[in-house]
Amino acid sequence: MANKSPKSETTIALAADFRLRRMILGWPKVILLSAITVALLTTAQEPIGYSYTAWLALVPWVLAVAGAKTGGKALLINLLVGLAYFLVNAYWLTWVTPLGYLAVSFYLGWYFVLTGFILRQIYLYRRWPFTLVLPVIWVGQEFLRATVITGFPWSFLSHTQHHSLRLIQISDTLGAYGVTFLVGMTNGLICDLLLRPLVKRKTPSSQQNNDDEAGASAKQSPVIVNPRLVARELILITAACLIGAGLYGYWRLRQSAQTITTGPTLALIQENIPQYVKESGKSNLEIFGRHLKLSQQALAAQPKPDLIVWPETMTCVPVNDEFLELQAPGFDLSGFEYLSQARDFDRQLRELAKQGSAVLVGTPGLEMAPVGNELLPVNKWNSAVLYLKTGQKSPKRYDKMHLVPFGEVVPFKNSWPWLYRQLNSLTPYDYEYSLDAGQEETVFQFTDSIGRPWQFAVAICYEDATAYVPRKLTTAGGQKKIDFLLNISNDGWFVHGGLDNQPILPSSELAQHWAICKFRAVENRIGIARAVNTGISGFIRPDGSEQTTPLAGTLAGNIYSRQATAGFITDKITLDSRVSPYSRIGDLFAIVCTFITAVLFLVAFHCRKKTTDKLQKRKTKKR
């Protein structure tokens, strides 16, 4: 009986014989490709802002990871790329804490190691396309980076696209991570087209099981039916996602014409005070006086503001009631100059508010009590206090909930004191400074010139960079609880100069912080006003667009000309009646991607272990 020819099956996949095409790259090429990725990612971020480079920035690095001769060399190049990227893009941390800057950059570099390890193993041992794998992993690592150890949600792929209004509208459903996914998907598609032979091929079923073996494809050449078919499918998937995002953005922007309205008139105060001046404690009167003078200018301009907003901690001394009403029997407080100055500043702020505009100030919060023979701090906060136009202070105060590690709090103070002491040495302070975290999502209320009530919340410092805080401040039970959001910040940490009459120069942090805040506006469909020492102060509409034609003020209309300069700006805050899907579901999309990333890591680890076991068996047989 004649032998039957083996049955043929048509397989559409990323061909398993790609390892025959794999090019082993030497160190010079690997380093060059990696350097190109660092350069492209850096130019995509502010202040350079070449957003188009982000769409292919990851490709050279992925080629280097795939082409590295050994896994050890791939791991090293991953760490070097991550370290170099954050050393370049977080350089402004050196002005706060040089040792902390190096430690943070080294820690963040390991996220590149995690991503690169998974990608390399998927490339070597699986057929899964990077078009789908890369964006999932990149979103997963960004989410981890934003949450682990309180997070460093900076330099995301999505942040490079903040000027692309139509594209970023998907953030109101998927968060900023949705934009990251699209940019990562395009990078993954280019990697697939360059790294893998994308074919439709016929393979005998009897040899199908051997396709996964490293040398199987060398024994049989596939019959190429249509070499562009799979590539076309991946291109269509990517194009469908990009077009879908564009159409969604077009619909949401058109919808904004009916849902976005104007609210009360706000005046944002911006001084230009480097942190070293503020930290000296010798210029409290001058700093307070300069903010008071700008506030008077804003009151004299037309239109008159309903609310004046000062940046973070610019009262310099605590004006919270617990400190102002300090009672310490047995202690002579008459010579306590710090308390006397605080009471004087509080009086002046009440007088300012009586001129017809509520005043929101950022202030250090302090509570003191007798401890033995000393009067010591028992609670310290980073706070926001509202003075009503009646001259009374709002009974509510907001205390910052999300504290910056090593900038506002050092962990392990009570659990591991020895570690706490070591970590405290990495901070920008030479004294015990850790703050207490706020527990309440405060909603402030004031009335405008015609008696209409308005409600708002305050995100302090980097709370606008951590997506969950503005979401909690904006909504409750699936409904908006505020009309608009304020961000008050002191970015004087991140400018340099000013000594010996030298000009004060901004760092890239100022522009990057502004770009990040725009995503919070879109995610929650909330208008945001930012009052920031050294800049950038301004108004962001709920669709992420910038208000560049203020009603009054001395700050420039151009957003980036407001860096490292002093002045005020008056405009109407915008409101939006929509409650976004993101406000209801939060980072669900990013969490799902993170879970898939964990699964892919386990798959990658298993592939690595399986290969190691096979090599060990071969060595044993040879012996």
What would the pLDDT profile of 149-172 be if each residue is shown by its tens digit?
A: 888 999 999 999 999 999 999 999
Listed residue (242, 131, 226, 224) closest to 185, CA to CA: 131
Mean pLDDT of 596-612: 80
Q: Are residues 117 and 64 in the same domain?
A: yes
Phi, psi of 216 (to 5 degrees): -65, -40
Q: Where are the extended beta strands (E) located within 338-497? A: 358-371, 374-387, 393-399, 444-447, 453-460, 475-476, 479-480, 484-490, 495-497
DSSP at 528: E
**Last residue of some domain: 577, 598, 618?**
577
Neighbours of 533 (CB within 10 A): 29
The Cα 356–Cα 448 span in angstroms is: 9
Give the model's pLDDT for residue 607: 74
CB 542 within 8 A of CB 518: no
**Nearest of 208, 155, 177, 196 to residue 48 by alpha carbon:** 155
Q: What is the pLDDT of residue 5?
A: 45
Decide: 178 and 172 in contact? Cβ < 8 Å: no
Considering the domain boundaries, does residue 407 fall inside one? no
* 229-233, 354-358, 402-406, 423-427: range with highest mean pLDDT: 354-358
If DSSP codes are grouped into helix, strand and coil, which group holds residue 447? strand
Residues 181 and 261 grouped into a single domain: no
Count of CB atoms within 10 A of residue 263's CB? 19
Residues 36 and 183 in one domain: yes
**Could you tell me what percent of the chain has a pLDDT over 70?**
84
Residues with Cβ < 8 Å from 45, sequence gap 6 or more? 89, 155, 159, 160, 508, 512
Read off the amino acid at residue 252: R
Can you name the residues that pair with 307 across neighbouring β-strands? 266, 358
Answer yes or no: do 522 and 593 share one domain: no
Cα-to-chain-centroid distance, residue 492: 19
Q: Which residues pair with 528 in a beta bridge?
A: 485, 540
Q: Give CA–CA dist 13/131, Å, rounded.
A: 13
Pairing of strands 538-540, 527-533: antiparallel
Chain mean position to CA 414: 29
Please tell me which residue, 128 or 545, carries the higher pLDDT value: 545
Instruction: Please state, for a pLDDT cut of 90, what percent of the chain lies above it.
Output: 67
Q: Could you give the maximum distance between any two Cα atoms of the chain, in Å? A: 114
Contact 165, 542 (CB under 8 A): no
Q: Are residues 488 and 511 in the same domain?
A: yes
Judge if 148 and 122 occupy the same domain. yes
- Domain boundary at 577, 595, 618, which? 577
Distance CA 377, CA 171 (A): 42
User: Regarding beta strands 527-533 and 484-490, do their DSSP bridges make them parallel or antiparallel, or are they unpaired?
Assistant: parallel
Query: What number of CA atoms fall less than 13 Å from residue 474's CA on the CB side?
Result: 33
pLDDT, average across residues 301-324? 95
Task: Answer whether 129's CB lies under 8 Å from 531's CB.
Answer: no
Same-domain pairing of 77 and 158: yes
Instruction: Based on the fold, state whether residues 510 and 597 are members of the same structural domain.
Output: no
What band does 279 get if pLDDT is binned at 50, 70 and 90? low
Q: Which residue has the tokens 């990517």?
A: 238
Token match 């009631």: residue? 321
If one compares 386 and 419, the residue with the highest pLDDT of the two is 386
How far are the Cα atoms of 441, 445, 455, 458 from residue 393, in angstroms, in the given order? 18, 11, 16, 16
CB contact set of 32 (below 8 Å; sequence gap of 6+): none
Q: What is the C-alpha to C-alpha distance for residues 577 and 542, in angstroms, rounded to an integer? A: 10
Same domain membership, residue 125 and residue 70: yes
| Residue 28 domain flag | yes
**Amino acid identity at 443:** V
Predicted local distance difference test score (pLDDT) of residue 9: 41
Q: How many CB atoms lie within 10 A of CB 280?
A: 9
Q: Are 573 and 484 in contact (CB under 8 A)?
A: yes
Same domain, 199 and 264: no
CA gap 444, 147 in Å, rounded: 28
Q: Is the pLDDT of residue 521 over 80?
A: yes
Residue 113 placed within a domain: yes
Q: In terms of pLDDT, which residue wins out, 128 or 303?
A: 303
Residue 216: what pLDDT? 40
pLDDT value at 327 more than 70: yes
Give the C-alpha separation, 102 to 93, whole Å.
9
In a domain, 213, yes or no: no
**Phi first, then psi: what are they for 260, rounded to 5°?**
-95, 125
**Structural domain contains residue 410:** no
Euclidean distance between CA atoms 173 and 245, whole angstroms = 11
The pair of three-digit structure tokens given for residue 557, joined into one six-digit string: 């209309």
Tell me: pLDDT of 622 over 70: no
Answer with the residue of higher pLDDT: 537 or 426.
537
Q: Are 312 and 490 spatial neighbours (Cβ–Cβ below 8 Å)?
A: yes
Confidence of residue 18 (pLDDT cuts 50, 70, 90): very low
How far CA 177 is from CA of 144, 180, 520, 565, 578, in Å, comes to: 12, 5, 12, 33, 21
Q: What is the DSSP letter of 339?
A: H
Residue listed under structure tokens 């407001």: 562
- For 350-369, b/e burial (b = at least 16 CB within 10 A) is bebbeeebbbbbbbbbbbbe
* Cβ atoms of 38 and 233 closer than 8 Å: no
495 closest CA partner among 96, 43, 89, 87: 96
d(CA 559, CA 555): 9
The number of folded domains in the chain is 2
Is 114 found in the same domain as 52?
A: yes
Task: Give the lowest-confidence range in 154-168, 273-287, 359-373, 432-446.
Answer: 273-287
Residue 95 in any domain: the answer is yes
Is the link from the previous residue into 536 a cis peptide, with omega within 30 of 0?
A: yes
Lowest mean pLDDT among 2-6, 64-68, 289-293, 545-549: 2-6
> What is the mean pLDDT of the segment spanning 379-405?
93
Q: Within this chain, do residues 66 and 99 fall inside the same structural domain, yes or no?
A: yes
Distance CA 358, CA 452 (A): 13
- What pLDDT score does 419 carry? 72
Q: Contact 601/118 with Cβ under 8 angstroms?
A: yes
DSSP string, 125-173: H----HHHHHHHHHHHHHHHHHHGGG----S-TGGGGTT-HHHHTTHHH
Would you say residue 134 has pLDDT above 90?
yes
Confidence at 342, pLDDT banded by 50, 70, 90: very high
Q: Is residue 249, in this structure, part of any structural domain at all?
A: no
- What is the residue-averaged pLDDT of the chain? 87
Mean pLDDT confidence for 348-372:
94
Q: What is the CATH number of the domain that holds 518?
A: 3.60.110.10
Please determine, for residue 281, whether its predicted confidence score (pLDDT) is greater than 50. Answer: yes
Q: For residue 4, what pLDDT is reported?
A: 45
pLDDT of residue 430: 56
- What mean pLDDT is predicted for residues 454-465? 96
Q: Of 22-36, 120-134, 359-373, 536-550, which one has max mean pLDDT?
A: 536-550
Residue 127's pLDDT is 77
pLDDT of residue 260: 96
Structural domain contains residue 618: no
pLDDT of 207 over the 70 cut? no
The pLDDT of residue 361 is 97
Domain that holds residue 441: 257-402+437-577
Q: How far apart are CA 362 and CA 385, in angstroms?
A: 7
pLDDT at 81 over 90: yes
Residue 226's pLDDT band (cuts 50, 70, 90): very low
Size of the chain in residues: 623
